[in-house]
Structure 1
């Protein structure tokens, strides 16, 4: 096939080109004039590539080598593909000018038209970019990251290269939003985005996945060293103080890292693996980074199975309560019991509370489980032969749900239990997020006649300020000060003595938790604690054992009940 002509030629129509008149000649002249004046570039080529007709707009384009080259390739394709009526090809001619060429086979030639679609293409690019850009930070978004990952994963099969995906989650960001408002939170995210950008290499892709979550796709032959270096820099830089709208802010960052193609060969899975590593970093105390290990996926699968079983357990009533006595040191009498939750997993062993309570809190099941505990504890305690107290642990989630007071009122009414016999135990973590709201709820509970205790006292940061703001009925001294490393040195002893003295001055009962030996009992009694709880006296007991314990306690008031053979110990909800 001969090459097409790429030089402008005078217009010569096959039909007569008379200047005026009617009939075929006049119509041809009119058509020629119309085509000449048309802004759209038009030409007719013979099948051997000779220009039969071209207007001025086409001649101007034809002088540009890029247009002529693109047209030649397209012309040959048009002649080769007889079944194709037209072919559209955007062609860039520099200076942001883009033309779309269309070729239409004719009976004895080819019609060629070219249109300036620069504005249309620019708008299309703008819309395309917006669809892949996070409007708040200007970073890419999840769509962009997924596309870049997919492109990289397809290239890895042909051109293996080392890459890594890093997922980033900000620590303590929610507190900024809650206390200072979303405008400050948004401004902080923009500063965070700038700090992340400053650490990237030329080929790195960064995206904001939503909220305070970010991700980076890093291609570097020096993996995993390059990813570890970047993760360490991000943890350090993002953990430094910020000044935003006149506010001094301190947050942190945790980072999870997964490697390509070593960890897997699927974009969605590599993001999942990076998230698992991020979860491990946050579990390790935040402000750090972790690389994905296959054991993490196995643990997550086990966790997912437990989540399914936990949801089923609530419906199938696989939970039960056991009760651990609390003993007054002056009278050696049992004053009450603490209700502890147990889960007897279907087809398996009993699950430790420390394994499923955090999961229940995370997936939002702690509220219905906690309500079940309150109702059942009240109902069972109402049947005891003596009016002993029943203590129930209440989580921060239950306070945040705003249904706690209604649950307590309903449970007391249904069971007939006297309000003063119900004791709700809270930890300092309940007070840390929204102190005033929690204090208001505690006062409402007190007005009902319900007793309130602070559990695990001494392990938080603001214990004394909480005691000043709300008059608790009881302080429970964390077992780490009674046994373990803290109890061995003079520091632990001093803390227990100080708490006991504080309780006496405020008129509060002080209960030492975790007492297991006679030596520990003598020590806490000497320090001034009023009550004790622990395996030395009894492990947690099933409901059918309580009546005998109460009867024995009544018959032998001077002899503290000794520990039983029940092996289910530990704290729970």
Structure 2
């Protein structure tokens, strides 16, 4: 048997046999109709190993894998006494090398193709030659499978390269996202990342606190010791804040010497205690580039109850107002935001209080804007528009007091008054109609209709 193999792979091939091999390879493995007619131009020089026993063949495959010179095809006889049979040999070789093509050569029916496929599959890498065989049959099979093995290897290499490029792209994307959301100096989350977290917090159902911290006399450090020393101090402060923030808290560097923290709290007292603890940890002496620097900071704090606001920018604005108040009061302290710090909030509250009594005091009135028909320019109806003339503020724009009424639920009382007044006026204008504007919030009332 082995002498027959040596004769098959030892003879030179003619042009006619090359053409036959090319046609067979194309028929077995090509999807391109044009390629079917192309002869095999690359002559394959086979380097064959011959082994009488299955265990020797398995050892040869193992050695080939270790040396990096893998076999492309293995011809296996089913019966190889006294050692393991061809089925077991195929099974062990396949366990070592999943890419090798196995050709079962037998004149017996000891095992069915299904049995061998189950043991040494996949089925598309197992082939059969019946004894007695022709030399051309063995040569054609070996050549075609060797070409296929080479093509499979190139395909695996291309897939591996694509997978490597995919992982590299994913890593680059991950780095880009990290850089976009983190501060380059401290690697802490930046303003963009903090706004995202704050946006999630205002939508949540938990009470939370936002603290904004500014280092005291930081400009003096930069001016006297240089910006490198200032950068080092920023890094040291950032490390302290990450260690001192309550469990589950979020620390970000907003820029310069300004930091912001988010933390879940049960109320104002807990938030103040947490901020004072962080402030104390930062108010120590630091060794910066061989110089002793006394740390210090001021903190502005705002506590947000669930559902009290949906605007993260407004929360940051309030914390910033509280921080400015802490600086005005001597630095090195924590100040909690209250409405007296914000003139716009005070004004809104005054408008809200004034609007609640405007109906009873007769300060509201309707004006009617004509609705003119396009064709004859005749007045077809009127649009009722509300106006508020306040003794204290004068004429107040609807663009100002309508949003306040919507937020405070005064819109329902205001809307009812507008409808009543519009209907009263309409009774005196026979043949006309009056359109009234409604707020979306009014439609949510179950008895609106």
- Alignment TM class, shorter chain as reference: 0.3 to 0.5
Bigger Rg over Cα: 2
Q: TM-score, structure 2 length as denominator? A: 0.41
Q: TM-score, structure 1 length as denominator? A: 0.32
